[in-house]
Structure 1
């Protein structure tokens, strides 16, 4: 009888240990690891796998505390494209083994926060999972062609005053001239995106030169801020499918074009945006025109009066934008080149 009780108690303890080692939220308990394939992590979605590669590049640079001069080299590191390859879920993040590379990094662990919206929710801790958001009262303001040494700081003061965050798509050659302003953009809680090195039409320069434009700007932004930009906005909105595949970053377009560059008229900018903007829209403006920056306070106040929440692109898209796809609004996306 005593032996039966002892066996029963042993089974209970073993089951308890097993339960403790399993985390029902999907996160890995301390000391517990789980091997998974990229097919499982992404549900066989190549765009999700490209997002993992994007996060891996950032992690390699961070782990090596690499200088900006090494950004181009990180795109030469061979990262997984085969869905059958495996990685490990650990308490700290997704651990990946790397092939021999110039960084001499054999293994990286990508924090789960960097994989939010990129891998399936069930493989993420609760704190890093995406949840359904209502976008009918959300609008993302975006500003192209900066940073400008005078106007961008003025705009940042306006955003801070009204407790609003926006997304800035910056030109690499300007970032290299005014890195402190790019840092200030991020310090204010805003987002930075890549808007090419010197604003060419990608359709006219081809895939190779387009890739160089993007990587050169990524280098400038990384040099200025210590982080790679997540998004790309192609000048004039032009990008081919091949360029989208090569870039391996989500492409952000717009659903409301203020055409502020054409008007250079503050009241006209206000009228155009207030007439056309609806919930879920991405609004295109520029922070290199004084008239546009002057219009922003009134635009913010009027949109707020209508009940709109002004958010970053990441917030509007619920952190689920993926490489190879282009996004026009909260619920409007398609493959690059279409």
Structure 2
């Protein structure tokens, strides 16, 4: 299941691959981006529900940012009614996409989502050139990811290694640990890395049901927002388990992996190195854990050996060209399918 083939429904494929290229964008269209042009969400997304879910995700962050909301308001932002109807309209302004809101507890009538927050979420032709998706030009790329942190000792040690080697990674953190060590989570972002959601206390989502899964994710989003001021974009379900219903309800992209180091089973630095280096291919998402000393000790050699093979390290967001969408799960570059499938 981890090595998914490159298939999605025709609608998603067209929107994700063809739509974002911005082919056929005229000078008049480019100029219109900075005017008060009214568009439908169907136009913005090429009638793609996954992209509309991504816009809702960006809207929640903007509501919190615009109101300088405390973490206690994170639960409330998920209750704000946001567009599901493709026929609803928004306005392209010089600063971003302006959306009207229904009455809500934040007492906000409208928000303007900055264009930079909508990269990969709306079609390229509606974005300024600086915010359009541009595929990675580097051929041999991989993404290091680390689960189950933050650890007060090992995560900072790992961050020093990454910085020394000029490598950025993606960390999927457990909410209860974020609450204990918020300073470490802030350091992850400060180092130019990505921070994702790995549940509150690492249950098997398949065993707890959709309602409890959503609660696990939202509670961790709240902890990460409290620590960093940002809602995490991505979710990695513990054990990689998630149902289609849970994938729809979470409304965040699901990040899986294509290279499993099995470092938790080995607890052996040499085996960790061999496991990762031998299995890595271009476009791989590598799964490791920053709560095991042996794993952290393996990272410098893994980086050295993969660089020697010509690989470049990028974050998950960079690997996926910032195009990961809610309702879909991603195993590697160009390797995704519907969540729960």
TM-score, scaled to structure 1 = 0.92
1:200 to 1:135, Cα distance in 2 relative to 1, 3 A: farther
In the other structure, the counterpart of 1:173 is 176
> Are 1:28 and 2:33 counterparts?
yes
> Are 1:225 and 2:244 counterparts?
no
In the other structure, the counterpart of 2:298 is 295
In the other structure, the counterpart of 1:337 is 340
Measure the CA separation in 1 of the matches of 2:237 and 2:138.
24
1:25, distance to aligned residue in structure 2 (A): 3.2
Is the radius of gyration larger for structure 1 or structure 2? 1
Measure the CA separation in 2 of the matches of 1:326 and 1:85.
27
Aligned partner of 1:326 among 329, 332, 336? 329
1:139, distance to aligned residue in structure 2 (A): 0.2
Measure the CA separation in 2 of the matches of 1:302 and 1:24.
47
In the other structure, the counterpart of 1:242 is 245
Partner secondary structure for residue 288 of structure 2: strand
Measure the CA separation in 2 of the matches of 1:273 and 1:148.
22
> Are 1:105 and 2:108 counterparts?
yes
> Are 1:274 and 2:277 counterparts?
yes
1:191, distance to aligned residue in structure 2 (A): 0.2
> Are 1:139 and 2:142 counterparts?
yes
1:315, distance to aligned residue in structure 2 (A): 0.3
Measure the CA separation in 1 of the matches of 2:32 and 2:153.
46
In the other structure, the counterpart of 2:92 is 89
Partner secondary structure for residue 25 of structure 1: helix
User: Are 2:42 and 2:87, in contact at CA under 8 Å, matched by a contact in 1?
Assistant: yes
In the other structure, the counterpart of 1:157 is 160
Measure the CA separation in 1 of the matches of 2:166 and 2:263.
23
Measure the CA separation in 2 of the matches of 1:103 and 1:41.
26
Question: Which whole-Å deviations, capped at 9, do the CAs of 1:20-56 have from their partners, x for residues lacking one?
Answer: xx76535633xx2100000000000000000000000
Measure the CA separation in 2 of the matches of 1:23 and 1:157.
48
User: Are 1:135 and 1:279, in contact at CA under 8 Å, matched by a contact in 2?
Assistant: no
Question: Which whole-Å deviations, capped at 9, do the CAs of 1:53-98 have from their partners, x for residues lacking one?
Answer: 0000000000000000110100000000000000000000000000
Aligned length: 315
Q: Which runs of 5+ in 1 are unaligned?
A: 1-21
Partner secondary structure for residue 192 of structure 1: strand
Partner secondary structure for residue 315 of structure 1: helix
Measure the CA separation in 2 of the matches of 1:242 and 1:148.
31
In the other structure, the counterpart of 1:10 is none
Measure the CA separation in 1 of the matches of 2:167 and 2:206.
34
Aligned partner of 1:284 among 269, 282, 287? 287
> Are 1:258 and 2:261 counterparts?
yes
1:331, distance to aligned residue in structure 2 (A): 1.2
Measure the CA separation in 1 of the matches of 2:48 and 2:248.
14
1:133, distance to aligned residue in structure 2 (A): 2.3
Matches within 5 A, 1:2-81: 25=30, 28-29=33-34, 32-81=35-84
User: Are 1:248 and 1:323, in contact at CA under 8 Å, matched by a contact in 2?
Assistant: yes
Bigger relative contact order (CA 8 A; separation at least 6): 2
User: Are 1:218 and 1:228, in contact at CA under 8 Å, matched by a contact in 2?
Assistant: yes
1:135, distance to aligned residue in structure 2 (A): 5.9
User: Are 2:29 and 2:125, in contact at CA under 8 Å, matched by a contact in 1?
Assistant: no
- Structure 1 outlier segments of 4+, above 4 Å: none
TM-score, scaled to structure 2 = 0.91
Measure the CA separation in 2 of the matches of 1:307 and 1:293.
22
Question: Which whole-Å deviations, capped at 9, do the CAs of 1:94-130 have from their partners, x for residues lacking one?
Answer: 0000000000000000000000010000000000001
User: Are 1:26 and 1:123, in contact at CA under 8 Å, matched by a contact in 2?
Assistant: no
Measure the CA separation in 1 of the matches of 2:136 and 2:146.
24
> Are 1:119 and 2:119 counterparts?
no
